[in-house]
Amino acid sequence: MKNLLKSTLAIVAVLVAFTSCNNGAKSGKNSGALANNVAEKVYVAPGEHDEFYAFISGGFSGQLSVYGLPSGRLFKVIPVFSQDAEKAYGYNEETKPMLNTSHGFVPWDDAHHPDISQTKGVIDGRWVFINGNNTPRIAKIDLSTFETTEIIEIPNSAGNHSSSFVTENTEYVVAGTRFSVPIPQKDMPINEYKGNFKGSLTFISVDSEHGNMDIKFQLIMPGFDYDLSHPGRGKSHGWFFFSTYNTEEASTLMEVNASQNDKDFIAAVNWKKIEEYVNNGGGTMMTTNYAHNVYDESTHMATSTMKKEVLTVNPLDVPGAVYLMPTPKSPHGCDVDPTGEYIVGSGKLSANLTVHSFTKMLAAIENESFAGDAYGIPIIEFEASLAGVVEQPGLGPLHTEFDDKGNAYTTFFISSEVVKWKVGTWEVLDRQPCYYSVGHLMIPGGNSQKPFGKYVVAMNKITKDRYLPTGPEVTQSAQLYDISGDKMELLLDFPTIGEPHYAAGCPADLIKPRSKKIFNLEDNKHPYAAKSEADTKVVRDGKTVHIYMTTIRSHFAPDNIEGIKVGDKVYFHVTNLEQDYDVPHGISMIGANTSELLIMPGQTETFLWEPKQEGVWPFYCTDFCSALHQEMQGYVRVSAA
């Protein structure tokens, strides 16, 4: 054991050393190798639009960013799991319920994997789903408004990492636990993990008309760690694949103890079979608590409901639904090619990439070519489902995406590069360095039957010398490569927000025509809306005061408010009467324990102000809205209680 520990640590040390000297050796000047016409390829002239949207996760910022490709211009940061002072998300009364969980109000998360909704295996540009890792949640962003409209918490999960990927008609968005935990949670010794902790794989149904999410069932799995997942598509539609590590079921000194087994598994789940089973009354209701938060566009308000039970399924009760495919050395990415035939497992500590064949997997099941079982789940013989191996393509493989010409692109964190290889022949075709230490990569539509193989975006963990220094913390970055030719060509570096993990890309034409311009004032059903200045008023109810206020260029109504007392709870309900594209107004109040509001045309938003001192206190518009923006102001008189 001691020796093993020593040798594993030595390997880790070598890898770490490799990473750092690799990074140190490369200078920012390497970009001097760029061809002359590269600037033209990413230049989108002022007033012109980009060809693609890229939705890049914000990692530990908790948000989702929207970039244009090929320009790399940042258009928006959509608040999802973290409070956002710029847009008042999670600060105003309307959106606070979005961040409710069974643990209370949790205004932060770690957002990893965005995935765009699909119809018939092709991305449709309706919604983006993204996972919150830390307090397990899945969010849905509506791509007509670019707003987070639903968040569902995942019970019986921890480190919700194997998420959030959609099936080919968006029947389900799938969330897999990272950590195994006691299910249901209970107080027990940690060293009794093995055999007692469990993992969960959660299938959330998505209603095809409105996208409403609901947990359909939760598969309770052996106590491995579940890393990433991808849906089957085409011939493998109906299946879902999950990479696992720590099949050792260790709970301590994980870098050594969870790296003992020569092979971990990719779990193949026939969700159609399980769906049929639960539709026929199968499964067990388990008592639990999880929040389901929905933002209603007609009221512009979110509501949070606490759900009390979830339908769980024991895989052993559904024979033929779950199999394990041995995959070398702690696979991270688990990626399915556009045809649905190949499942690529990226063993982080393996020299080779392992590719499984869906057809061979089915044949192996048919022939019962099993190498045993894990807690009763059949393990398919390694060779039986093996399609091929990409030999020694690089060091530290993480993720693979696909183009529309039968090529795959895999990121290598340690050797810091993207490697292009041929699906089916497994030969390496090309490689390009990344600056530095790439994690995920993204080809628009790369997780669907129809990738748009013009660009690949690499998301790098380290930038070091690539930009002007900004103190100890420097930005992370994305790199754009042209992949339309035989050789990849580096075109552009651009900075990102937080730490991007995955991204999802989409042709702009799928989203642009449906992008909303204003909210119709007539349709505003907010209970505190004032739809004209005639409707504005100040209503007192004990110590609570409701101000029904309106904004229009360039004044507030009312703009002089008296009769407020120290200790009152004053709610400003502010309706923006504008019906023009891109004319928000803002408002802020001195000493308010919240952010400003940024109210879009036709919307009503609310903040709470609790005045602590007598006096006459001004308020003003925070968004430069007209030549008379600076005149857009008012006073509140506060008297002694």
Residues of this chain that interact with ligand CUK (CB under 6 A) are 112-113, 161, 228, 332, 398-399, 439-440, 501-502
- Minimum Å gap between C-beta 552 and ligand CUA is 8
Subset of 545-584 contacting ligand CUA (CB under 6 A) = 551
Nearer Cβ to ligand CUK, position 397 or 433? 397
In the list ligand CUK, ligand CUA, none, the entry touching 233 (Cβ below 5 to 8 angstroms by class) is none
Distance from C-alpha of 416 to C-alpha of 439, rounded to nearest angstrom: 9
Nearer Cβ to ligand CUA, position 398 or 598? 598
In the list ligand CUA, ligand CUK, none, the entry touching 629 (Cβ below 5 to 8 angstroms by class) is ligand CUA
Which residues, other chains included, contact 505 with Cβ-Cβ below 8 Å and sequence gap of 6+?
52, 53, 54, 55, 69, 442, 443, 444, 445, 446, 452, 455, 457
In the list ligand CUA, ligand CUK, none, the entry touching 140 (Cβ below 5 to 8 angstroms by class) is none
DSSP E strands, 461-603 = 477-482, 489-495, 503-507, 537-541, 544-552, 555-557, 560-565, 569-576, 585-589, 597-599
In the list ligand CUA, ligand CUK, none, the entry touching 112 (Cβ below 5 to 8 angstroms by class) is ligand CUK
- Minimum Å gap between C-beta 555 and ligand CUA is 9
Nearer Cβ to ligand CUK, position 399 or 420? 399
Bridge partners of 165, per DSSP, are: 174
- Minimum Å gap between C-beta 398 and ligand CUK is 5
In the list ligand CUA, ligand CUK, none, the entry touching 623 (Cβ below 5 to 8 angstroms by class) is ligand CUA
Subset of 50-69 contacting ligand CUA (CB under 6 A) = none
Which residues, other chains included, contact 97 with Cβ-Cβ below 8 Å and sequence gap of 6+?
293, 301, 302, 303, 304
Applying CB under 6 A, among 181, 215, 504, 632 the residue interacting with ligand CUA is: 632
- Minimum Å gap between C-beta 580 and ligand CUA is 12
Q: How many degrees, rounded to 5, is the angle at CA 147 between CA 142 and CA 152?
A: 75
Distance from C-alpha of 175 to C-alpha of 9, rounded to nearest angstrom: 32
Nearer Cβ to ligand CUA, position 203 or 519? 519
In the list ligand CUA, ligand CUK, none, the entry touching 332 (Cβ below 5 to 8 angstroms by class) is ligand CUK
In the list ligand CUK, ligand CUA, none, the entry touching 625 (Cβ below 5 to 8 angstroms by class) is ligand CUA
Distance from C-alpha of 572 to C-alpha of 333, rounded to nearest angstrom: 48
Distance from C-alpha of 11 to C-alpha of 395, rounded to nearest angstrom: 12
Q: Which residues of 322-349 are buried (b: 16+ CB within 10 A; e: fewer)?
A: bbbbbbbbbbbbbbbbbbbbbbbbbbbb
Of residues 235, 278, 252, 143, the one with CA closest to residue 189: 252
Nearer Cβ to ligand CUA, position 441 or 597? 597
DSSP state of 58: -
In the list ligand CUA, ligand CUK, none, the entry touching 502 (Cβ below 5 to 8 angstroms by class) is ligand CUK
Nearer Cβ to ligand CUK, position 228 or 423? 228
Nearer Cβ to ligand CUA, position 108 or 620? 620
User: How would you classify the pairing of strands 555-557 and 503-507?
Assistant: unpaired
- Minimum Å gap between C-beta 139 and ligand CUK is 15
In the list ligand CUA, ligand CUK, none, the entry touching 624 (Cβ below 5 to 8 angstroms by class) is ligand CUA
- Minimum Å gap between C-beta 295 and ligand CUA is 24
Q: What is the residue whose two structure tokens read 């033929």?
A: 320
- Per-residue interface string for the shown chain with ligand CUA, residues 600-629, x marking contact by CB under 6 A: ---------------------x-xxx---x
Of residues 591, 576, 593, the one with CA closest to residue 636: 591
What is the size of the binding site for ligand CUA (CB under 6 A)?
Answer: 8
Q: In what order do the strands lie in the sheet with 353-357?
A: 331-336, 342-347, 353-357, 386-390
Q: What is the residue whose two structure tokens read 């590269």?
A: 38
Asked if 483 interacts with ligand CUA (CB under 6 A), we say no
In the list ligand CUK, ligand CUA, none, the entry touching 531 (Cβ below 5 to 8 angstroms by class) is none
Which residues, other chains included, contact 493 with Cβ-Cβ below 8 Å and sequence gap of 6+?
31, 72, 435, 466, 467, 477, 478, 479, 480
Nearer Cβ to ligand CUK, position 173 or 589? 173
Q: Which two tokens stand for residue 603?
A: 């919307």
In whole angstroms, how far apart are CA 605 and each of 80, 547, 638? 18, 11, 22
Element (H, E) at 42: helix 38-42
Residues of this chain that bind ligand CUA (CB under 6 A)? 551, 585, 621, 623-625, 629, 632
